[in-house]
Amino acid sequence: MYQIKTLTRGQRTFVNKLRKKVSKTIYQQRLIEDSDCVLVGVSGGKDSMALVDILASLRKSFPFKFDLKVAHIVVRQLPQLADADKIKALCDFHGIEFNRIEVDIDFKRDPSLSPCFKCAWGRRSRLFRLTEELGCNKLAFGHHMDDANETLIMNILFNGEISSLPYSVEMFEGKFHLIRPMLEVEDKDVAYYANLLDLKAETRRCPNTKTNRRDYIRKMLNEFYEIHPGLKRNVFRAPQKYIAKYLPLPLQAAGIEGNE
């Protein structure tokens, strides 16, 4: 059974401040609206567990109603990586429908693809189908600002493109939207929030996990962040503040107008 921890006045202030920040993002980006049905994909880590708690708390104060459901995808070929009972306990506490779904993934198929890619795509594909099966029009992920920055730099360096994690993106010709309500929140704040409320349900690391490109990018960015306190937000805002006339000719020729 999930129980609320006793917090100090300062800790309660932090919790409320973070919830308000997520609420502001939801309103400004119109991520959740009246009568929406939102499915939250929960791995059991701090990010997705914090998102469930935040959305459940905001649902009580929003001037409109929306339904909230949770999905936890389990890969049969792997050991249990999270305490599903703890995830369910949090859902029961907030009165949220909990769905534990098992999937099979053929890790031997197509050796050119890494086990991590196969696992991630297999779990995400099942989430996509489940969103429709449950009648939800929104699928929420717990990505935060650090995730977006890492994705931006990775795509620039390894894919030669400027792209990151959007607040919202239409999926399958409008069948539902994938949303990221915590995109304005920093990783360290999500971690502190989850720790204060004892939300983390992960019990072990995946046996296939190895140091990857994202780990290197994260380490590099963290070193840069120490140089200037505003650097992280600058990286996050950069794709929205490009100056077209100072970019390569192909972009200008495409008729794309940027900021002056």
For the chain, what are the domain ranges?
Answer: 9-210
- Tens place of pLDDT for every residue, the chain, 260 residues? 788 889 999 999 999 999 999 999 999 999 999 999 999 999 999 999 999 999 999 999 999 999 999 999 999 988 888 999 999 999 999 999 999 999 998 888 888 788 788 888 899 999 999 999 999 999 999 999 999 999 999 999 999 998 999 999 999 999 999 999 999 999 999 999 999 999 988 887 776 666 678 899 999 999 999 998 899 999 999 998 878 777 776 655 555 555 55
Instruction: Please state which architecture CATH assigns to domain 9-210.
Output: 3-Layer(aba) Sandwich (3.40)
Instruction: Name which of 74, 67, 56, 49 is nearest 19 in CA terms.
Output: 56
